[in-house]
Copies of this chain bind each other. A is one copy, B any other.
Amino acid sequence: SSSEAFATTSPPKLLFRQLFEKESSTYTYLISDIAHPDKPAMLIDPVDTTVDRDIAVINELGLKLVYALNTHCHADHITGTGVLKTKVPDVRSIIARTSLAKADILLEKGDRIRVGNLYLEARPTPGHTSGCITYVTGDAPDQPQPMMAFTGDALLIRGCGRTDFQGGSSEKLYKSVHSQIFTLPNDTLVYPAHDYKGYTVSTVGEEKLFNPRLSQDKETFKNIMGNLNLPYPKLIDIAVPANLVCGLQGQDSKI
């Protein structure tokens, strides 16, 4: 597999960057193993409008972008995955098979995405959409400590994604977060796909205690989610069809 091309015996050294897109309040994450001579890198949840910024940082830092991942098929912005593929040779797009979106690599539960000697594990966390994945850094002594969880919209800081469209289900989301995220060590860093209040990071322990929705029992949670009365998302009819084809709708490009 392509990931083996980047395997070495040296312990990994994480380069990590959190990047923010103001319009949709989206966080994009850059991860690289800079102990590896190729400095292979991946981007989680890139946004179409900030792809040039992301590529500039990647080039300045001398990284080689190999993967562009999405946590899910977004409804509030267009993924940068497709544009990245047109601008950076050999980048491969990744999303959950259950998202029903197109991508080069369709993930199943437990699949690992590797850059150098760092890896992320795919944990399905459906409920916001039916194809949501939380990416968790490796659970091994040479992997980042504390662990990091890229939770998409399944778990936000003191919040969570809505569950009223795209195959959403509050029942499923509750089960996903409690079985796949809240079971991680308490000091695991929580990096969500969005934040609207200026938080940049949280921990599993903090969210278990202080998340106003997911710290509740399941029935209370389902009640809260059933009574949010949110407006129809502004961009959903543009973003979802675009994101199903990596943000490259109406283009002839091979995705």
Residue of B nearest to A196 (CB): B22
Q: Is the CB of A206 within 8 A of B20?
A: no
| Interface status of A254 (Cβ within 8 A of chain B) | no
* A22 vs chain B, min Cβ distance (A): 7
Interface residues of A, CB < 8 Å — how many?
20
- Are the CB atoms of B210 and A21 closer together than 8 Å? no
Stretch at the interface among A105-113, A197-205, A226-234: A197-205
- Minimum CB distance partner of A201 in chain B: B17
Is B206 in contact with A60, judged by CB distance below 8 angstroms? Answer: yes
A162–B20 CA distance with the chains assembled, in angstroms: 23
* Contact with A19, one of B19, B199, B209 (Cβ below 8 angstroms): B199
A28 and B198 alpha carbons, distance in the complex (Å): 9
Q: Which residue of chain B lies nearest to A25 when distances are taken between CB atoms in the complex?
A: B22
B19 touches A198 (CB 8 A): yes
Q: How far is the CA of A17 from the CA of B60 in the complex (A)?
A: 26
Q: Using known A-B contacts A60-B210, A206-B60, determine if residue A17 contacts B53 with beta carbons closer than 8 Å.
A: no
Q: Does any Cβ of B come within 8 Å of A18's Cβ?
A: yes
A199–B60 CA distance with the chains assembled, in angstroms? 14
Query: Which B residue's beta carbon lies closest to that of A15?
Result: B203
Q: Does any Cβ of B come within 8 Å of A61's Cβ?
A: yes
Show the binding face of A for B, using Cβ within 8 Å. 17-22, 28, 50, 53, 57, 60-61, 197-201, 206, 209-210
